[in-house]
Amino acid sequence: MLRFLRFLTAGESHGPGLTIVVEGMPAAVPVSEDQIAMDLRRRQGGYGRGGRMLIEQDYAYITSGVTQGRTTGSPIAMTIENKDYANWKDKSPPPITVPRPGHVDLAGALKYQHDDMRLVLERSSARETTARVAAAGLAKSLLGELDVKIGGHVVALGGVEAPVPDLPWGELFGRAEESEVRCYDPETTQRMIARIDEAKAGRDTLGGVVEVVAWGLAPGVGSFVHWDRKLDGRLAGAVMSINAIKGVEIGHGFASAARSGTQVQDAIRWGEGRPIRATNRAGGTEGGVTNGEPIVVRAAMKPISTTLTPQPSVDMRTGEETVMEYQRSDICAVPAAAVVVEAMVALVLADGYLEKFGGDNIRETRSNMEQYLSSIGWSALV
């Protein structure tokens, strides 16, 4: 799906660690392991997480493609240690033969013809999203050099909705960062926390909705000329690939289906020497191309599948009906999912920027961008 900034991840949830290779980064982009670690910490946090996150202190070690804090243009390899591996390496846990509803245990075991579903859950676990956040740390550094900023927050959790914010993006995300549930509004934060406590007491789990915004964007990233070049489709596919994400919308998305045309479009006016929009209901793309407005992507996360309340399943060894075995789990991971959605959006945008502006050194990428912006009369923005 990504063609200009590709990445691969490998690793099991309780194996020695995760490996990431990112290919296509131009040279001379400043990157730092400590900067990446900040995002890894953000992914580990959030009220309602399970015990695993107390064990891990994720840190991505860069083992190639970076010299003296700058990319060289070569593929970048990173490794993240699984601290929990020490607790597992000398154990031989019994096979898992009862698939957990809501996980890929059953379909995965049928597909790969495994008798032990542990072989499925080890790789399908959301532990893999740690690797994506590390890869996105590089994408964010690249976007930062091109004036693009990105942030994510929780807009709803377990049915508790945050009020519609009226704040500049930077301030909104600054406030969300201080919340235990990544919600900008302190009063809603308290209600979301209470909702998680309630779910926990009821031996249940919760989902929610996260919103990611990227701003400072050039118009013209993505293309309308072919379906697989459309940026909205690329964003939706990447975000939908995240564990437990079951819905993606851009701009007003689903709500616009119930409105009339005049309530949905963003009128084009002239101001500041260029076309401007007073509204951004489209969420920053029209026809699969950025229009210069912020990209606004929302994602719906289903409740965590693993519940303390036993759920009906079948023992695949015997065909007997039984209940699933409880595996240590989160009650709610919506605040963490916001960081993962942020990561996938950053990777897709970085890919789109490299498609549009190219460049083997970030100076070349930047100068191509500046030249383009000036030739379309968009310099007022930057």
The piece of 11-19, 180-188, 194-202, 297-305 that touches ligand FMN (CB under 6 A) is 297-305
User: Judged by CB under 6 A, does residue 122 bind ligand FMN?
Assistant: no
Quick one: 304 or 350, whose CB is closer to ligand FMN? 304
Please tell me the chain's helix, strand, coil percentages from 3-state DSSP, rounded to the nearest 5. 35, 20, 40
Is the CB of 18 or the CB of 282 nearer to ligand FMN? 18
Rounded to a whole number of angstroms, the minimum distance from the CB of residue 77 to ligand FMN is 23
The answer to whether 5 touches 29, Cβ cutoff 8 Å, is no
Asked whether the beta carbons of 275 and 269 are under 8 A apart, the reply is yes
Residue pair 335/45 in contact by the 8 Å Cβ criterion:
yes
Distance CA 233, CA 287 (A): 10
Binding to ligand FMN by residue 291, rule CB under 6 A?
no
Of 217 and 324, which has the nearer Cβ to ligand FMN? 324
Nearer to ligand FMN, 312 or 319 (CB): 312
Q: Which of 316, 337, 338, 344 binds ligand FMN (CB under 6 A)?
A: 337
129 binds ligand FMN (CB under 6 A): yes
Nearest partner of 5 among 69, 76, 64, judged by Cα: 76
* Number of residues in contact with ligand FMN under rule CB under 6 A: 21
296 versus 333: smaller Cβ distance to ligand FMN: 333
Is residue 136 close enough to count as binding ligand FMN by CB under 6 A?
no
306 part of the interface to ligand FMN, by CB under 6 A: yes
Q: How far is the CB of 256 from ligand FMN (least distance, A)?
A: 25
Instruction: State the nearest-atom distance from the C-beta of 152 to ligand FMN, in Å.
Output: 12
**HSE toward the beta carbon, residue 189, CA cutoff 13 A:** 16
Phi and psi (nearest 5°) for 262?
-70, -20
Per-residue binder mask for ligand FMN (CB under 6 A), 234-273, x = binder: --------xxx-----------------------------
In terms of DSSP bridges, do strands 6-10 and 17-23 run parallel, antiparallel, or are they unpaired?
antiparallel
Among the listed residues 365, 210, 235, 362, the one whose alpha carbon sits nearest the alpha carbon of residue 290? 235
Report if residue 341 touches ligand FMN, rule: CB under 6 A: no
Q: How far is the CB of 50 from ligand FMN (least distance, A)?
A: 5
Any contact of residue 305 with ligand FMN (CB under 6 A)? yes
Q: Which residue has the tokens 């309780």?
A: 14
Q: Which letter, b or e, does each residue of 281-317 get, where b requires 16 or more Cβ atoms within 10 Å of its Cβ?
A: bbbbbbebbbbbbbbbbbbbbebbbbbeeeeebbebe
**Residue 50 makes contact with ligand FMN by CB under 6 A:** yes
Asked if 126 touches ligand FMN (CB under 6 A), the answer is: yes
By CB under 6 A, residue 104 contacts ligand FMN: yes
10 Å CB burial of residue 187 (0-12, 13-18, 19+) is exposed
Neighbours of 364 (CB within 10 A): 15
Please pick, from the candidates 183, 214, 304, 369, the single residue that binds ligand FMN as defined by CB under 6 A: 304
Q: Which of 32, 35, 72, 329 binds ligand FMN (CB under 6 A)?
A: 329
* Closest separation in Å from C-beta 307 to ligand FMN: 8
Cα 344 from Cα 214, distance rounded (Å): 12
Q: Which of 58, 330, 342, 351 binds ligand FMN (CB under 6 A)?
A: 330
Closest approach, Cβ 46 to ligand FMN, in A, equals 8
Query: What contacts 312, CB < 8 A, 6 or more positions away?
Result: 101, 321, 322, 323, 324
With contact defined as beta carbons under 8 Å apart, do 210 and 290 qualify? Answer: no
362 binds ligand FMN (CB under 6 A): no
Q: Residue 169 belongs to what H/E stretch?
A: helix 169-177
45 vs 75, which CB is nearer to ligand FMN?
45
213, 235, 336, 344: which one binds ligand FMN (CB under 6 A): 336
Side-chain-facing half-sphere of 369: CA atoms under 13 Å: 28
Q: Could you write out the three-class secondary structure of 214-229? A: EECCCCCCECCCCHHH
* 12 contacts ligand FMN (rule: CB under 6 A): no
Q: Which residues bind ligand FMN (CB under 6 A)?
A: 50, 102-104, 124-126, 129, 242-244, 302, 304-306, 329-330, 333, 336-337, 340
